[in-house]
Structure 1
Amino acid sequence: MTDQIRGPARGRADVPLSILDLATVSAGGTAVDALRTSTELVRRAERWGYHRYWVAEHHGMPSVASSAPAVLIAHLAAHSETIRLGSGGVMLPNHPPLIVAEQFATLHALHPGRIDLGLGRAPGTDPATAAAMRRGDADAFPEEVATLTAFLDGDAPAGLQSYPLNADRPPIWLLGSSGFSAQLAGMLGLPFAFAHHFSAENTEPALELYRTRFQPSQWLDKPYAMIGVSAVAADTSEQALRLAGTIALAMLRLRRGRPSPIPSPEEAAAHPYTDVERNFVDGYLRNVVMGTGDEVRAGLTALRDRTEADELMITTGVYGGANRLRSYELVARAFELDQG
């Protein structure tokens, strides 16, 4: 199992480099367009040398077409051959552990050795949508993780078992943006993925908690921490900043309770920002690693050195499928990931 979690660094990357895909929907586009881009991206990511490719779970967001991770993973697995695929993550309180166990055991049986199960405890949506899903109690997350693990391991309570039951199971990761899941992952001896892309101020404290609370397990003999990073690469620094502005405006609208598809660069540049809005956007952009491919490589390397992360997972939710594909390509080239 440890070998499935730890991946080889490639090219000039000191650690494995992976992708988090939200299947972002651009203004003027559709979910069909977004998912077609994801299908093309997973093919190219495999060829370019990325280590793993995860998809998120979000609900009620017009900018995100990734609301059903297990379905999307099955599709992406059918259109790729070797790259690891997983959830970043399944928001466990939204689902009965039995159903998640069945879904990911099936994926693991179809694609042995390629599936990761990342688990989060946030709703991935607004309160009204969470209520419509009859969402469970996030405080029960540790117990639900234990129940899900028992189903996958064939150790469920007497009279209960999820099927298919495999000889082994996909690696379980815990995801988080604060110290709660960091401590839990450490105590359970599981790999941990931290959402640096929207909680940068908590990254280093959470990783420190994870490492200090870590207990060796049958899955890992030492901590393994991955951080999710928003990264935008383009042919020029100016173009990268212009594209990053499309994500920033989308995030501003989301925080204001007015979610929208990812706006165009022109729309983002022309938006009449108030001082408060400009402060938010500037703060958001400070945590985006952007620029040319070489500039992004330098920024990611510095972040990795500061946090001592074992793996970096980049997410690029900019306007336009072609812009997203180009960004990931430039990063892969800068790190010389391409295996031919």
Structure 2
Amino acid sequence: MVPLSVLDLAPIGTGSTATAALATSTKLVQLVEDLGFRRYWVAEHHGMPGIASSSPAVLIAHLAAVTERIRVGSGGVMLPNHQPLVIAEQFGTLDALHPGRIDLGIGRAPGTDQRTARALRRGTAALGADDFPEQLGELMAYFRGDGPVAAVPAQGQDPAVWLLGSSGYSAQLAGLMGLPFAFAHHFSSENTLPALELYRKMFRPSEVLAEPYALIAASVLCAPDDAEARRLALPSALQFLQLRLGRPGPVPTPEEAAAYRYSPEERDFVEQRLASQIIGSPETVRTGATELVERTGVDELMVVTSTHDGDDRLRSYRLLTEALGGASGDSGPAHAPAVAATSGTSAA
């Protein structure tokens, strides 16, 4: 297996709180560091009652402070929501506090609904997804020290810049810029292979990478047996259905998910959602994860697990690691990108 990493949305369960969700994130990052995971990313989402990770930079500062070795970063910061200077200052500060451990994963989607996006972008009406390449260029210039103004303490700091995506746009841009690429397989599985193929086809060697380096984020839930894993996975699928129906909410309990009266269309949606995930006993998950890595040829597997109860998430990562015989994978050159020591460009 390739190295394992974590994508954390800090899910909030029905009847629980953001405080409890973030306490689970703290436990989880310490657990996976001990288990040998490579990196731990938090995702930016806004206006969602079931997700507590609306402020990645703040959460990254906390998670990095309670760990020692694991890389910590964003998966990702949604660049159109922020002025590039602000992100540069935030992640320059993080890298100054935790040198060599900070990842800056950048996305171009708003990560929220249009009304919330407008509130986030107040005063920046000219910025949007269409300006993404220009915003990205400005952001990286601040770390090099040749931005339009001085970004302190960004200049001279070196967070690892990644591009994130769920379609071909970011895949192509990451390839042309010679940056590492992270694909959102967990909610866009039908686009995974085309996007990875495009990234590798368009890749141009850079000061960052001599050859392509890609990871995918996949939904995985491991439990003692297949039935228990499906019971624990159903609430997250129902939560995603409710989001698509315009009713975002916390992660339901397994009992609520089982009792929900699904229409035929809703049942099909949930089943398709579950079918794109790796869910089951340790043996089932080992088979599914191995097949996914072999089919995609990725260099790293980033695992996202959402359950109503935080303890079930922690157990899932323990069982997954045991099933795969460890989390560090092959640490040789095939799974570690060639990195030049240039400001704002490291990737490993």
TM-score normalized with structure 2 length: 0.91
- Write the letter of the residue equivalent to 2:67: S
Aligned counterpart, 1:115? 102
Aligned counterpart, 1:137? 128
**Is 1:103 the equivalent of 2:94?**
no
Aligned counterpart, 2:326? 337
Aligned counterpart, 1:187? 176
Aligned counterpart, 1:268? 257
Aligned counterpart, 2:287? 298
CA distance, structure 2, for counterparts of residue 45 and residue 101 of structure 1: 28
**Is 1:164 the equivalent of 2:153?**
yes
Q: What is the SS of the residue equivalent to 1:53?
A: strand
CA distance, structure 2, for counterparts of residue 36 and residue 300 of structure 1: 28
Runs of 4+ off more than 4 Å: none
Equivalent residue in structure 2 for 1:250, among 239, 243, 258: 239
Question: Residues 288-321 of structure 1: CA distance to partner in whole angstroms, max 9, x if unpaired?
Answer: 1011123212111100100101110010011110
**Is 1:316 the equivalent of 2:305?**
yes
- Write the letter of the residue equivalent to 1:117: L
Q: What is the SS of the residue equivalent to 2:286?
A: helix
- Write the letter of the residue equivalent to 1:79: V
CA distance, structure 2, for counterparts of residue 325 and residue 306 of structure 1: 27
Q: What is the SS of the residue equivalent to 1:88?
A: strand
**Is 1:200 the equivalent of 2:207?**
no
Question: Does the CA-based 8 Å contact 1:182-1:192 persist in structure 2?
Answer: yes
Structure 2: gaps spanning 5 or more residues: 329-348
CA distance, structure 2, for counterparts of residue 164 and residue 70 of structure 1: 15
- Write the letter of the residue equivalent to 2:152: Y
Between Structure 1 and Structure 2, how many residues are aligned? 324
Q: CA deviation at 1:235?
A: 1.0
Structure 1: gaps spanning 5 or more residues: 1-13
Aligned counterpart, 2:73? 86
Q: CA deviation at 1:167?
A: 3.7
**Is 1:152 the equivalent of 2:137?**
no
Equivalent residue in structure 2 for 1:210, among 199, 207, 210: 199
Equivalent residue in structure 2 for 1:76, among 63, 80, 84: 63
Question: Residues 220-246 of structure 1: CA distance to partner in whole angstroms, max 9, x if unpaired?
Answer: 000001000000001111000011101
Q: What is the SS of the residue equivalent to 2:267?
A: helix
CA distance, structure 1, for counterparts of residue 18 and residue 31 of structure 2: 20
Question: Does the CA-based 8 Å contact 1:55-1:86 persist in structure 2?
Answer: yes
Q: What is the SS of the residue equivalent to 1:89?
A: strand
Question: Residues 14-43 of structure 1: CA distance to partner in whole angstroms, max 9, x if unpaired?
Answer: 211000000000001000000000001011
TM-score normalized with structure 1 length: 0.94
Question: Does the CA-based 8 Å contact 2:88-2:154 persist in structure 1?
Answer: no
CA distance, structure 1, for counterparts of residue 226 and residue 65 of structure 2: 36
- Write the letter of the residue equivalent to 1:198: F
Select between 314-323 and 330-339 the one with higher mean Cα deviation: 330-339
Question: Does the CA-based 8 Å contact 1:122-1:138 persist in structure 2?
Answer: yes
Question: Does the CA-based 8 Å contact 2:145-2:156 persist in structure 1?
Answer: no
Q: What is the SS of the residue equivalent to 1:282?
A: helix
Question: Residues 200-256 of structure 1: CA distance to partner in whole angstroms, max 9, x if unpaired?
Answer: 000000001100000000000000010000000011110000111011000000000
Q: CA deviation at 1:131?
A: 1.2
- Write the letter of the residue equivalent to 2:217: G
Q: CA deviation at 1:333?
A: 1.3
Question: Residues 64-122 of structure 1: CA distance to partner in whole angstroms, max 9, x if unpaired?
Answer: 00000000000001111100001000000000000000100110011011000000000
Question: Residues 160-209 of structure 1: CA distance to partner in whole angstroms, max 9, x if unpaired?
Answer: 11011454411100000000000000000000000000000000000011
**Is 1:40 the equivalent of 2:31?**
no
Select between 180-189 and 293-302 the one with higher mean Cα deviation: 293-302
CA RMSD across the alignment: 1.1
